[in-house]
């Protein structure tokens, strides 16, 4: 019988934290929980206030624990999407046994050489978030893939790698947020690769595709070609600039502006048809009056900001050098991609074929789990798919098995204590904490049903980024 384990992921967004929990048995993934909750202390996907962010994370995790009746001990998260620059790192290996076939171990050694020898401009402030092998060469063989170069014979082995460098302080803030929330970090993944794993097909990655993820505070572009991640860049604005424009133009509060955008917003004012004549009446509870807002005018505001986002992405596509190699066009994902008419507007302005990027249900099942199939869930589900490949990640604490002949004594002991019915004594409520007595510990034995502790120990001994470099660029 295959081992059963659980993985919990947190997509740290500017507007929301998306928590997913999955049950994994062998190669089967069942998403058993997905929920989005408002986030604080996060801006442009960067944790700038670890205390506020930890409060949001703790609340989101507690809701998952209460609904599933479990205890989440660790989570996997994504690295920041913004403030990342990419560099080229070559590496060369003179083989000690040139008459033998090039092995996978030599490929891995070459990758490590590229990473170890890459000169960061300021190692105290920068850190490598990810690296992707672009091509390999061996004497007469030039620009080969990893699969093609493995097994050939050559005196030398050369490789070209793309290195993605980000802020070290951003990672420190994530670690501090985790510490304050009292939740361990299982892994930190490069988000673009995780999102691609959730929404793209192998055919799209091979033929050439631009994956555009539109979040609240960040819009990112990831380009795949030949099955390899070729280009990544993020701009520090997304759906929030549309909400902000509605807020200031109409004099609304931000929450109201967001709700109006989602309920009545459209990117194409010339295609509203009968809706263009509609007038919204917005009641002002404070003054007792009301405001009028034309749906057509609302659409014009949204159209102006949406065009800015699309123009910025099209500029980056040209800068990447892959503008004429995107045979499968553009895939839009993220919460901001749901804006009515956005995909049509993108197609009109770019000339590319455009589709919406929903998490592919062929990779998991999610019975009775609402929201998991939406574009806003792509990153959180992608993190689950990445973590699934690491067999040592198990985020859920096993339930205690209480020795039967001591159950009655334990029940009597804990009647007046603050006690979690599945896991033992928990901390008292923070409100009026000083007036509470410390809960008594049960006297009975509590045994655990697996070797989770040893697995977690092994997982934490390895680097946080762990196997990231070998996994990136693969489906």
Helix (H) or strand (E) holding 68: helix 50-68
**Phi, psi of 208, deg, nearest 5:** 110, 120
Q: Which long-range contacts (CB under 8 A, 24 or more apart) does 242-247 make?
A: 242/301, 242/302, 242/305, 242/306, 242/339, 245/301, 245/302, 245/304, 245/305, 246/298, 246/301, 246/302
Contact assessment for residue 278 and residue 295, using Cβ atoms and an 8 Å cutoff:
yes
Contact assessment for residue 17 and residue 57, using Cβ atoms and an 8 Å cutoff:
yes
Distance of CA 466 to the CA centre of its chain: 17
Please tell me the predicted confidence (pLDDT) of residue 81.
Answer: 93
Contact assessment for residue 215 and residue 239, using Cβ atoms and an 8 Å cutoff:
yes
For 318, how many CA atoms within 13 A lie in the half-sphere containing its CB? 7
Structure confidence at residue 3 as a pLDDT band (50, 70, 90): confident
Helix ranges, 74-218 (H): 104-117, 146-149, 168-181, 191-199, 202-207
CA 291, 295, 297 angle in degrees (round to 5)? 85
Please tell me the predicted confidence (pLDDT) of residue 231.
Answer: 96
Q: Which of 234, 257, 232 is nearest to 244 (CA)?
A: 257
Please tell me the predicted confidence (pLDDT) of residue 291.
Answer: 81
In this structure, the chain runs to a length of 475
Reduce the DSSP state of residue 254 to 3 states and report it.
helix
d(CA 234, CA 236): 7
CA 471, 118, 155 angle in degrees (round to 5)? 75
Does 439 score more than 70 pLDDT? no
**Phi, psi of 275, deg, nearest 5:** -70, -20
Please tell me the predicted confidence (pLDDT) of residue 397.
Answer: 66
Structure confidence at residue 136 as a pLDDT band (50, 70, 90): very high
Q: What is the pLDDT of residues 24-33, one digit of tens each?
A: 998 899 999 9
Q: What is the pLDDT of residues 271-302, one digit of tens each?
A: 887 777 788 888 776 666 678 889 999 999 99
**How many C-beta atoms surround the C-beta of residue 85 within 10 A?**
12
- Give Dmax (Cα) for the chain: 86
Q: Which of 190, 121, 162, 214 is nearest to 320 (CA)?
A: 162
Model confidence, pTM: 0.81
CA 396, 470, 114 angle in degrees (round to 5)? 135
- The predicted model gives 395-418 an average pLDDT of 46
Structure confidence at residue 2 as a pLDDT band (50, 70, 90): low
Please tell me the predicted confidence (pLDDT) of residue 35.
Answer: 96
Please tell me the predicted confidence (pLDDT) of residue 288.
Answer: 62
Does 443 score more than 90 pLDDT? no
% of the chain at pLDDT higher than 70? 82
**Phi, psi of 470, deg, nearest 5:** -80, -20
Q: What is the pLDDT of residues 304-328, one digit of tens each?
A: 999 999 999 999 999 999 999 999 9
Q: What is the pLDDT of residues 194-237, one digit of tens each?
A: 999 999 999 999 999 999 999 999 999 999 999 999 999 999 99
Does 166 score more than 90 pLDDT? yes
Across all residues in the chain, what is the average pLDDT?
83
Does 461 score more than 80 pLDDT? no
- The DSSP secondary structure of 342-375, one letter per residue, reads HHHHHHHHH-S-EEE-PPPGGG-B-TT-TTTTSG
For 43, how many CA atoms within 13 A lie in the half-sphere containing its CB? 6
Tell me which of 149 and 436 has the higher pLDDT.
Answer: 149
Please tell me the predicted confidence (pLDDT) of residue 474.
Answer: 45
Please tell me the predicted confidence (pLDDT) of residue 171.
Answer: 95
d(CA 462, CA 475): 23
Torsion of CA 389, 144, 206, 79, to 10 degrees: 40
Please tell me the predicted confidence (pLDDT) of residue 140.
Answer: 84
Q: What is the DSSP letter of 441?
A: P
Tell me which of 1 and 66 has the higher pLDDT.
Answer: 66
Only one residue has tokens 């339930």, namely 399
Tell me which of 341 and 117 has the higher pLDDT.
Answer: 341
- The predicted model gives 61-80 an average pLDDT of 95
**Phi, psi of 299, deg, nearest 5:** -65, -35
Helix (H) or strand (E) holding 161: strand 156-167
Q: Which residues contact 365 (CB under 8 A, 6 or more apart)?
A: 28, 29, 30, 31
Question: Which residues, in sequence order, are bridge partners of residue 221?
Answer: 212, 233
Pairing of strands 74-78, 4-12: parallel
Please tell me the predicted confidence (pLDDT) of residue 400.
Answer: 43
d(CA 407, CA 397): 21
- The predicted model gives 347-364 an average pLDDT of 95
**Phi, psi of 144, deg, nearest 5:** -100, 155
Please tell me the predicted confidence (pLDDT) of residue 149.
Answer: 93
Q: What is the DSSP letter of 471?
A: H
């Amino acid at each position: 019988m295959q081992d059963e384990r659980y993985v919990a992921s947190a997509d740290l967004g500017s507007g929301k934290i998306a928590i997913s929990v999955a049950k994994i048995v062998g190669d089967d993934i069942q998403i058993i929980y997905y929920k989005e909750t408002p986030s604080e202390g996060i801006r442009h996907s960067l944790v700038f206030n670890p205390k506020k962010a930890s409060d949001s994370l703790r609340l989101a995790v507690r809701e998952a624990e209460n609904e599933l009746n479990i205890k989440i001990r660790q989570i996997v998260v994504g690295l920041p999407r913004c403030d990342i620059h990419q560099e080229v790192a070559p590496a060369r290996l003179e083989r000690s046994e040139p008459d033998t076939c090039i092995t996978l171990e030599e490929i891995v050694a070459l990758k490590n050489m590229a990473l170890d020898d890459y000169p960061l401009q300021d190692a105290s402030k920068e850190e490598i978030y990810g690296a992707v092998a672009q091509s390999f060469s061996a004497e007469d063989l030039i620009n080969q893939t990893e699969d093609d170069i493995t097994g050939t014979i050559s005196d030398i082995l050369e490789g070209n790698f793309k290195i993605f460098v980000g802020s070290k302080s951003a990672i420190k803030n994530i670690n501090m947020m985790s510490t304050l929330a009292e939740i361990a970090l299982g892994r930190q993944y490069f988000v673009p690769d995780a999102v691609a794993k959730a929404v793209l097909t192998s055919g799209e990655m091979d033929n050439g595709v631009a994956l555009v993820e539109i979040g609240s505070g960040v819009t990112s572009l990831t380009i795949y070609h030949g099955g390899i991640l070729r280009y990544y860049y993020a701009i520090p604005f997304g759906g929030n600039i549309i909400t902000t424009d509605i807020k200031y133009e109409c004099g609304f509060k931000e929450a109201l502006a967001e709700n109006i955008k989602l309920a009545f917003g459209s990117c194409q004012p010339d295609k509203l048809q009968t809706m263009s004549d509609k007038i919204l009446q917005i009641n002002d509870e404070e003054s007792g009056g009301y405001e009028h807002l034309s749906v057509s005018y609302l659409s014009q505001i949204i159209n102006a900001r949406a065009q800015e986002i699309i123009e910025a992405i099209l500029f980056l596509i040209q800068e990447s050098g892959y503008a004429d190699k995107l045979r499968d066009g553009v895939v839009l994902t993220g919460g901001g991609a749901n804006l009515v008419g956005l995909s049509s507007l993108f197609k009109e302005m770019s000339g590319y074929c455009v589709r919406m990027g929903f998490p592919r249900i062929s990779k998991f099942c999610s019975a009775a789990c609402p929201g998991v199939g939406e574009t806003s869930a792509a990153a959180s589900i992608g993190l689950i798919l990445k973590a699934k490949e690491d067999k040592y990640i198990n985020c859920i604490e096993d339930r205690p098995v209480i020795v039967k002949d001591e159950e009655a004594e334990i029940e009597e002991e804990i009647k007046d204590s603050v006690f979690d019915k599945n896991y033992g004594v928990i901390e008292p409520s923070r409100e009026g904490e000083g007036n509470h007595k410390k809960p008594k510990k049960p006297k009975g034995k509590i045994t655990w049903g697996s070797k989770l502790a040893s697995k977690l120990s092994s997982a934490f001994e390895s680097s946080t980024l762990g196997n990231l470099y070998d996994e990136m660029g693969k489906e």
